[in-house]
């Protein structure tokens, strides 16, 4: 296996990752995934199933079972959707690295309002009071019980993490964890518990996302695309909203290059990378 042969016969891998499992998102995205033969990872904060998160309705277990039956994954996004890391220094350092790694620096600054809001509100209110062990364990157990699946992928709420939380994810039984650090994932030099992503929001168009795919193909990367709310309308002018027509245009582009792109769940892509890398070392 050569350094760029991890995804052979494909050139790259794409993970379509949907945070918070909004009911509107599943309603609009699942038919698209089925139409284009794609798979997605739906990241669930189990304490909000059938309830509202940030004023938006979250899917119920029946909606999530439909996703599983289509070959999609339901990953853990914690129980309460609370930030798990209380370190402002670590968060700022990751923010700086993400800023340097993105070519769209103006857009990135617009997308960073969440971090500055958190600093303004005061870090002490977050992660320090959260029972992290419970957030990781109970969410995994609940998903496995309700959907009769193995839940081995985690997504950090808000993208916040530290080395202690990464270690606990391993101990609990997760095989990977996704952050909100901006960038691409080199399968030959991968931190399985700090997966980088490219984030869809109000400013994202299909053309920009298509360029993410082009770069992943060129470099042999694993691209994780993070979506939140997908639909025809945007309640409450939600910052992380993606118009359905733009998402579908992007899915069509991915399909047009299907010979070069593997589209799979977070768990399946990470397992492939892990096995291939182990085999490479063994030889």
For residue 7, the model assigns a pLDDT of: 93
For residue 90, the model assigns a pLDDT of: 58
| pLDDT over 90 (residue 160) | no
Q: What are the pLDDT digits (tens) for 247-256? A: 999 999 999 9
| pLDDT over 80 (residue 86) | no
- Cβ atoms of 76 and 153 within 8 Å: the answer is yes
For residue 5, the model assigns a pLDDT of: 74
For residue 6, the model assigns a pLDDT of: 87
| pLDDT over 50 (residue 282) | no
For residue 167, the model assigns a pLDDT of: 96
- Give the confidence band of 276 by pLDDT, cuts at 50, 70, 90: confident
| pLDDT over 70 (residue 124) | no
* Fold exhibited by the domain 12-282: TIM Barrel (3.20.20)
Q: Which has the higher per-residue pLDDT, 98 or 272?
A: 272
| pLDDT over 50 (residue 228) | yes
For residue 113, the model assigns a pLDDT of: 54
For residue 92, the model assigns a pLDDT of: 57
Q: What are the pLDDT digits (tens) for 175-201? A: 999 999 999 999 999 999 999 999 999
Helix (H) or strand (E) holding 85: none
Q: Which has the higher per-residue pLDDT, 65 or 111?
A: 65
214: buried, middle or exposed (CB in 10 Å: 19+, 13-18, 0-12)? middle
What is this structure's pTM? 0.88
- Tokens coding 133: 């062990």
| pLDDT over 60 (residue 13) | yes
Q: Where are the alpha helices (DSSP H) in the chain?
A: 23-36, 61-69, 88-101, 105-110, 113-121, 132-147, 163-172, 206-219, 244-256, 266-282
Q: What are phi and psi of 87, to 5 degrees?
A: -95, 110
| pLDDT over 60 (residue 119) | no
For residue 235, the model assigns a pLDDT of: 84
47-51, 87-91, 115-119, 178-182, range with greatest mean pLDDT: 47-51
Q: What are the pLDDT digits (tens) for 23-81? A: 999 999 999 999 999 999 999 999 999 999 999 999 999 999 999 999 999 999 999 99
- Give how far the C-alpha of residue 183 lies from the chain's centroid of Cα atoms, to the nearest Å: 12
For residue 125, the model assigns a pLDDT of: 41
- Domain locations in the chain as residue ranges: 12-282
């Amino acid at each position: 296996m050569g350094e760029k042969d991890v995804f052979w016969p494909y050139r790259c891998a794409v993970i379509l990752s949907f945070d918070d499992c909004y009911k509107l998102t599943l309603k609009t995205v699942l038919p698209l995934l089925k139409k284009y033969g794609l798979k997605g990872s739906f990241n669930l904060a189990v304490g909000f199933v059938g309830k509202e998160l940030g004023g938006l309705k979250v899917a119920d277990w029946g909606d999530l079972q439909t996703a599983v039956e289509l070959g999609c994954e339901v990953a853990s996004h914690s129980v309460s959707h609370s930030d798990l890391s209380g370190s402002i220094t670590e968060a700022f350092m990751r923010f700086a690295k993400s800023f340097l790694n993105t070519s769209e620096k103006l857009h990135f600054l617009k997308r960073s309002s969440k971090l500055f809001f958190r600093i303004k509100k005061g870090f002490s209110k977050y992660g320090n009071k959260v029972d992290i062990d419970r957030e990781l364990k109970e969410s995994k157990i609940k998903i496995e019980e309700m959907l009769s699946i193995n839940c081995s992928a985690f997504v950090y709420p808000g993208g916040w993490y530290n080395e202690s939380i990464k270690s606990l994810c391993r101990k609990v039984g997760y095989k990977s964890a996704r952050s909100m650090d901006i960038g691409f994932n080199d399968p030959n030099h991968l931190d399985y518990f700090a997966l980088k992503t490219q984030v869809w929001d109000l400013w994202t168009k299909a053309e920009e996302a298509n360029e993410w795919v082009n770069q992943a193909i060129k470099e042999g990367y694993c691209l994780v695309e993070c979506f939140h709310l997908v639909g025809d309308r945007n309640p409450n002018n939600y910052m992380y909203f993606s118009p359905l027509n733009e998402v579908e245009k992007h899915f069509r582009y991915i399909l047009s290059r299907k010979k070069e792109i593997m589209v799979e769940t977070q768990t399946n892509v990470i397992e492939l990378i892990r096995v291939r890398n182990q085999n490479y070392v063994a030889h």
